[in-house]
Structure 1
C-alpha cells in the first residue's frame, strides 16, 4: 500500500500544494491504491518538503522521483500512448509548470500582500495567535531566499506577472483544442498542469495571477474536464 503524506485540502482544491496535487492526480490517473496522511510540517519529509510517500516501508520524496519509482515498481507507463515527440512535449510542459509557473504562484501567494493575507489565515490556523506573525516572517524569509536563488526576486511584480502570462500563453497554445495535454487521454504532464492550474483557476484564492489564469477559457475548460475525470469522487 502506498501512503501519501501531504498537506490537507484548502481553498476549494484537493490540495493547496501544486506538487501534492500533481502527485495525487498521478496516482488517480494510474489507478493505484493509496492512503493519505495529512501533514502540515514539510520538515517531516525525507528532503524537508511535501509530498512524500512510503512504499514497502521506504520513504521516497520528490514528485518526479516518486512517479518514476512507482512506474517501475508497478510496471506501467502513463505516457505509453505518446511517441518520442509527445514524450518530449510532456517533459517540457512538466518542467515549465514545476520550475517556473509554480514558483510564480508561490510568490503571489506568500510574498504579495493580497495573497499572503488570505494564505496566512488558513495555513497558520493551527498555530497559537501570538506566534503567527513571527512564523509568517520566517516563512516569507525562507520563500524569499528560495525564489532569490531562482533569480525571480530580481524582477518587479509587474515583470513577474509578465513571465506568468508567457507561461499561461504557452500552456494555452500547447493545449489548443485537445481535451488533455496528452491528447485524447491524460499523460504524466497532465498531472503537473492540473496541479498548478487547479490552484490558479479553481482555487478560491484571489491574486493577480489567479485572475489572469481564469481569463484563459481553454485552460478553465481543461481544469473542469480534469476535475470531472479524476476528482469526481
Structure 2
C-alpha cells in the first residue's frame, strides 16, 4: 500500500526534444523510475537549471526534506516514500534488474555521453546548438561548455 502525501512531489528536469521527454540522461532516469514506481510527480520541464530549487537538474522538491539533486538521491527518497519499482519482484527478478542497470550504466550511458558530448561533429551541430538555442542568455554561452567539459572528464 502506498503512503498518501499532503503535497505533491515536484520534479524539475531538462525539457525534451527529438521525441524524448527530456534531453538529459539523469532526468530520463528519474522520470522512468518514477513512472514504473507510480510516484505522483508534478513535472516542470525547463531549460534553465538555475530555476530549479537546487540550481541543477534533475531536482526534486519535497514537503518534508526540502530539495534533492542527483538521480540516486531522488530515487532513494522515492523508495522511502514507498514508491519502489522493485517492490513486487522476486529475488531473481531483483538480481536481473541490478544486472540490467549495470549493463545500462557500463555500456549504454558511455555511448550516450560520447554521442552527445564527445563526438565533435554531433556536439557542435546538435548538442551545443540545442542547448544554446534553449537556455536563456547569458547562460547559453556558459552552460553548454561547462557540460561539455564535465562529459569529457567523465569519459
Give the Å deviation of 1:132.
6.3
* Matching residue of 1:145: 153
Q: Within 1, Cα distance between the matches of 2:114 and 2:36?
A: 29
* Matching residue of 2:45: 38
Q: How many residues align?
A: 146
TM-score by length of 2: 0.74
Higher helix fraction (1 or 2)? 1
Relative contact order higher in (CA < 8 Å, ≥ 6 apart): 1
Q: Within 2, Cα distance between the matches of 1:111 and 1:145?
A: 10
Is residue 65 of structure 1 aligned with residue 81 of structure 2?
no
Gaps of 5+ in 1: 148-233
The 3-state SS of whatever aligns with 1:15 is coil
CA RMSD, 1 decimal? 3.0
Is residue 24 of structure 1 aligned with residue 31 of structure 2?
yes
Q: Deviations over 1:151-184 (max 9, x none)?
A: xxxxxxxxxxxxxxxxxxxxxxxxxxxxxxxxxx
Q: Deviations over 1:130-158 (max 9, x none)?
A: 996776544433321222xxxxxxxxxxx
| Alpha-carbon spacing, 1:100–1:65, altered in 2? closer, same or farther (3 Å) | farther
* Aligned pairs (5 A) from 1:118-197: 118-126=126-134, 136-147=144-155
Gaps of 5+ in 2: 1-7
* Matching residue of 1:93: 100
TM-score by length of 1: 0.52
Greater Rg over alpha carbons, structure: 1
| Alpha-carbon spacing, 1:130–1:19, altered in 2? closer, same or farther (3 Å) | closer
* Matching residue of 1:177: none
Does structure 2 retain, via aligned residues, the 8 Å contact 1:46–1:61?
A: no
More displaced, 61-70 or 127-136?
A: 127-136
